[in-house]
């Protein structure tokens, strides 16, 4: 993703036909390189949860805005990211696709309007993805839980063996891994004699890179705070 984001940033032009971005640098697997990286208006991080301390140290040192698409953070790491937003503008999202943003809105609406339906979430990604379920699947799960009107709603990650009849309060979450799939997410609502399924398919990771670059342009210059993708892109 880092290489893809850099290529698209180098190709991007503004309305006057001039380069839209001035790239300060790129850090690969050696996060220690961040120690010498000069300050930037905004940093885009699509790395690994294990690099958070190094990224946070860079943001603290430079005050740069941070667009983070890193998934797999623990609850404690997400809390640390929120604390970091007291010093700089921070945007974290499990997905930077405009189509997925729309999917999340539709899922929230369906969960609200179909409260008695059983809900199952299935995500599929390439065989090199390190975390499961995907950050996007977790976002979709939150959209269901927040709008279903069921205080007992809870996630069940896969099923095996004699697990018995389905608990009406459970939300199934399933992760598939294989090949080079850029990302497919389906949320299905099962009711008596009918089913509603909402699906988003990513044909290329470019959609996430372009969304992150668009968000970076809007986040730069904002006051310190923790922002959502919707707040930055649609408000």
222 among known catalytic residues = no
How many CB atoms are closer than 10 A to CB 195? 11
CA distances from 19 to 3, 14, 71, 233 (A): 18, 6, 30, 21
Residues 187, 198 contacting (CB under 8 angstroms): yes
User: CA 62: distance to chain centroid?
Assistant: 24
Residues 4, 182 contacting (CB under 8 angstroms): no
Catalytic site residue from 105, 112, 125, 222: 125
Residue 27 CB burial class (10 angstroms; 0-12, 13-18, ≥19) = buried
Residues 202, 208 contacting (CB under 8 angstroms): yes
Catalytic site residue from 105, 112, 126, 129: 129
148 among known catalytic residues = no
Give CA–CA dist 209/216, Å, rounded. 10
Give CA–CA dist 168/107, Å, rounded. 18
Catalytic site positions: 125, 129
């Amino acid at each position: 993703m880092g290489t893809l984001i850099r290529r698209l940033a180098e190709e991007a032009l503004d309305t006057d036909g001039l380069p839209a971005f001035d790239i300060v640098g790129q850090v690969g697997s050696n996060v220690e390189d961040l120690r010498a990286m000069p300050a930037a208006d905004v940093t885009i991080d699509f790395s690994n949860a294990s690099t958070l301390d190094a990224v946070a140290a860079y943001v603290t040192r430079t005050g740069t805005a941070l667009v983070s698409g890193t998934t797999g953070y623990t609850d404690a790491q997400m809390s640390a990211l929120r604390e970091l937003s007291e010093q700089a503008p921070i945007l974290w999202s499990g997905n930077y696709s405009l189509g997925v943003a729309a999917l999340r809105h539709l899922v929230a609406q369906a969960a609200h309007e179909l409260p008695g339906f059983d809900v199952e979430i299935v995500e599929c990604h390439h065989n090199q993805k390190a975390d499961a379920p995907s950050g996007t699947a977790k976002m979709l799960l939150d959209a269901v839980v927040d709008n279903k009107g069921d205080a007992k709603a809870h996630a069940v990650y896969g099923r095996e063996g004699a697990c018995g009849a389905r608990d009406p309060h459970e939300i199934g979450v399933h992760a598939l891994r294989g090949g080079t799939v850029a990302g497919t997410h389906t949320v299905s609502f099962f009711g008596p004699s009918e089913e509603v399924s909402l699906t988003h398919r990513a044909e290329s990771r470019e959609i996430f890179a372009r969304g992150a670059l668009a968000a970076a342009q809007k986040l730069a210059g904002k006051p310190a705070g923790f922002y959502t993708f919707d707040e930055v892109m649609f408000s």
